[in-house]
Amino acid sequence: MSAEQQVKFYQTGTFTVGNRLLDPSKRTVQASIDRRNALTSGHRACQGCGEALGARYVLDAAMRATGGRLVAVNATGCLEVFSTPYPESAWQVAWLHSLFGNAAAVASGVAAALRVKGSDVRVIAQGGDGGTMDIGFGCLSGMFERNDDVLYVCYDNEAYMNTGVQRSSATPAAARTSTTPALGDEPGNSFGTGKNLPALAMAHGIPYVATASVADLHDLEGKVERAMAIHGARYLHVHVPCPLGWGSDPARTIQIARLAVESGLFPLFEASCGEVVRATPIRRRAKVDEYLRLQTRFAHLFDGTPRSAEALARIQALADRNVSRFGLAPRETEHHSP
Amino acid sequence: MLKQIEGSRAIAEAVALCRPEVICAYPITPQTHIVEDLSEIVKAGDLGRCAFINVESEFAAMSVAIGASATGARAYTATSSQGLLYMTEALYSAAGLGLPIVMTLGTRAIGAPINIWNDHSDAMALRDAGWVQLFAESNQEAADLHVIAFRLAEELSVPVMVCVDGFVLTHAFERVDIPAQADVDAFLPPFEPREVLDPAAPITIGALVGPEAFAEVKVLAHHKLLRSLDCIPALAAAFAARFGRAAGGLVRPYRTEGAETIVVALGSVNGTIQEVVDAMRADGHAIGSLDVCTFRPFPFAAVRRALMRASRVVVLEKNLSVGMGGVLATDVREALGVDAPAVYTVVAGLGGRAITRASVRAAVEKAQAGTLEALHFLDLDRRVVARELAHEVAR
């Protein structure tokens, strides 16, 4: 069987075509016949799952970066549940799951044991936004503060999807979830102050913090590789649409992820020791409406009422603030009208 | 080597002799001196590359131990009271994953109302978590049980909790014979994990198990824990052979030959009880006592053998299952079955209240006279309770 025949069907899109134009050393891990398929096919994620896609790219990039000398610790959540229904496992990497809120601490223990044994094996911990930003935040902060040699990856789909789409501290303002129904004076999630976990990670002064999106898998892989080239506590926050929870078309996962970036709602950047060192400018700035309109969790914002118009304006202001804060404005201004 | 040292120091030195590779520490009274002493031993370089990790909570302490143990490192931590409850979820995880972590529990009451003093409420609350629970009677035994605990844990791949009475033992200075390193090394071989996170042989640890297999997994864990009922006496014998003194075992009868009354207890209060037994024997009473060293798994057969010929059993215990009574007495009744001696529950020492020989003797004498309530609270200020109950009724 030739190498070409082993490439799977999901790689035949424009991403792969674009990838083939690159210098071989810069091509995506997924284009290589040597890729590990650390999260292999056959698992039980939903169609269009951004987390499954993100996790596969993260793990394979980390496997390439470490020559396969890698172990993974997983928080409870969708990723854990859809990948390991006993007696099946989709993991082709040494993998450990303990609890919802302790992945960062378990990974600290793994890293400590490896250090004591003088091993060169590296550690990745991963979890969803609930396991990372809410219930696991104490352990995560401890791991950061001790600068333990762990890359922690948060797959942020902005709610507790595994338990049926309940609100988390990552749920955006106005979003409808099963615990923030689109009812009453302030339909959907309230406009709180938000919880910016990459900024909280940066406040620990850890050597590497980055955000990434499944809309730009090359960028995601590059960030994993840079993270694995560094020792100490590192944090990667990956934006992963959830068709089930967001009420979006599974075929549009990448498009929606891209609109989150292009609207400015999810800025892509890297930080070193608490300082932003690189932000990805937006090539084509989108209005937040373009992004929100594709998700039924925001459907109530498009009822034409003044209240909804005000909510949309507030969300647009959040995006605009990100754009100015990170200097993301398109180099050639090219606003598309909704 | 004989030393006049604090119980916590003796435990720390015994743990260090076991060559732990990862130690996690979070402060809570009264276990704190143990990890303080271990931090000194590690920082001084006496434990080689051992990692001493100051974590941000007890939940993290047990979680770090889980990660370390699953990676093949010998892992240790210590806690008490609220700290044990705060790590509850991780304790079940460690047991379910079959990780041979050893933990000292400096036993202490649980709030509210907050109370830092000794009783066994914490240990009892986690009796169903799948951990072996051993109770030390003295500081010598507290030290020795840790050496046994690591070997037991690693032989069976189960976690072991060594329960040591907070303050009563942890803060008491006693003469303790600290074993020689060579003897401990001979007794405790290097840790050979059953399963380990290893890129060369990648396995999935901690999968989701559904209704089709969950019960079988739990029953197998039950059988594995019960196997320690065979291992513990064998290890106690092996320990005695190498170190020349007794430690551990399932239960230890004291002067039970021909005893009509037997007092049963866990931990350090057995010393007080044995003095009462001696005094009452001298006065012609047929009395003995039983120290339950292994509380989980519960040694039903050994307890039954030790108690079945008595006319009455007084279980003196430092816990109250609110709305039920005494936890140990319930297990003892289960062990004795029907046609059993009468079993009295005496709840004593809650929140650190002193248990005196006079009070124990008075309760035992009431039991002998058949006038002791089935559930008795030792040295209770009955006026306060009666007054408050009367207020309740008035309201």
* Residue B276 identity: V
Percent of chain A with pLDDT over 70: 92
Report the DSSP beta bridge partners of residue B325: B321
Q: What is the pLDDT of residue B339?
A: 85
Q: What is the pLDDT of residue A15?
A: 56
Please give the structure tokens belonging to residue A40: 């292999």
- B75:A81 CB<8 A: no
Nearest CB to B209; choose among A68, A86, A117: A86
A12 band by pLDDT with thresholds 50, 70 and 90: very low
- A112:B70 CB<8 A: no
- B199:A71 CB<8 A: yes
Span(s) in chain B for CATH 3.40.50.970: 2-243
Distance CA B286, CA A21 (A): 94
Q: Which residues of chain B have pLDDT under 70?
A: none
Residue of A nearest to B24 (CA): A109
Q: What is the pLDDT of residue A21?
A: 67
Question: Rounded mean pLDDT of A130-152?
Answer: 98
Q: How do the domains of chain A map onto residue ranges?
A: 36-326
Q: Class of B251-384 per CATH?
A: alpha beta
Chain B: residues touching A (Cβ < 8 Å): 21-22, 24, 49-51, 53-57, 59-60, 63-73, 75, 89-90, 93, 97, 197-199, 201-210, 213
Cβ pair B265, B279 in contact under 8 A: no
Measure A31 CA to nearest chain B CA, in Å.
Answer: 22
- A86:B70 CB<8 A: no
Question: Rounded mean pLDDT of A127-138?
Answer: 98
Q: Is the peptide bond before B341 cis (omega within 30 degrees of 0)?
A: no
CATH of B2-243, one of 3.40.50.970, 3.30.420.40, 3.30.450.20, 3.40.50.2000: 3.40.50.970
Nearest CB to B60; choose among A97, A113, A139: A139
Identify the H or E element spanning B128. Answer: none
Select from B131, B94, B333 the least CA-distant residue to B222: B131
Percent of chain B with pLDDT over 70: 100
- A92:B202 CB<8 A: yes
- The radius of gyration of chain A from alpha carbons, rounded to an integer in Å, stands at 19
Question: Rounded mean pLDDT of A136-153?
Answer: 98
Residue of A nearest to B197 (CA): A94
Cβ pair B33, B170 in contact under 8 A: yes
A30 band by pLDDT with thresholds 50, 70 and 90: confident
- Beta strand segments in B11-136, E: 22-25, 51-54, 75-79, 102-107, 132-135
Q: What is the pLDDT of residues A161-189, one digit of tens each?
A: 999 999 999 999 999 999 999 999 999 99
For A292, the 3-state DSSP assignment is helix
- B63:A91 CB<8 A: no
Q: Is the peptide bond before B113 cis (omega within 30 degrees of 0)?
A: yes
Span(s) in chain B for CATH 3.40.50.920: 251-384
Q: What is the pLDDT of residue A18?
A: 63
Residue B93: other Cβ atoms inside 10 A: 23
Cβ pair B166, B108 in contact under 8 A: yes
Select from A332, A335, A323, A234 the least CA-distant residue to A290: A335
- Measured in whole angstroms, the distance separating CA B132 from the mean position of its chain's CA atoms is 8
Percent of chain A with pLDDT over 90: 86
Q: What is the pLDDT of residues B326-361, one digit of tens each?
A: 999 999 999 999 888 999 999 999 999 999 999 999
CA of A133: how far to CAs of A126, A241, B81, in Å?
A: 12, 17, 28
Q: Class of A36-326 per CATH?
A: alpha beta
Nearest CB to B202; choose among A85, A93, A107: A93
Mean pLDDT of all residues in chain B? 97
Size of interface A-B (CB pairs under 8 A): 161
For B5, the 3-state DSSP assignment is strand
Question: Rounded mean pLDDT of A232-250?
Answer: 98
A26 band by pLDDT with thresholds 50, 70 and 90: confident
Question: Rounded mean pLDDT of A204-220?
Answer: 96
- A110:B67 CB<8 A: yes
Q: What is the pLDDT of residue A275?
A: 98
Reply yes or no on whether the pLDDT at A2 is more than 90: no
Reply yes or no on whether the pLDDT at A114 is more than 80: yes
Q: What is the pLDDT of residue A35?
A: 87
Q: What is the pLDDT of residues A63-98, one digit of tens each?
A: 999 999 999 999 999 999 999 999 999 999 999 999
Distance CA B342, CA B312 (A): 5
Reply yes or no on whether the pLDDT at A337 is more than 60: no
Q: What is the pLDDT of residue A179?
A: 98
Q: Provide the chain A residues 48-107 that lie in CB contact (below 8 A) with chain B.
A: 68-71, 73-74, 80-81, 84-87, 89, 91-99, 101-102, 105-107
Reply yes or no on whether the pLDDT at A338 is more than 60: no
Q: What is the pLDDT of residue A34?
A: 83
For A280, the 3-state DSSP assignment is coil
Q: What is the pLDDT of residues A45-68, one digit of tens each?
A: 999 999 999 999 999 999 999 999
Q: What is the pLDDT of residue A5?
A: 39
Q: Is the peptide bond before B112 cis (omega within 30 degrees of 0)?
A: yes
Identify the H or E element spanning B140. Answer: helix B139-156
Question: Rounded mean pLDDT of A3-14?
Answer: 42
Distance CA A61, CA B139 (A): 53
Measure A42 CA to nearest chain B CA, in Å.
Answer: 16
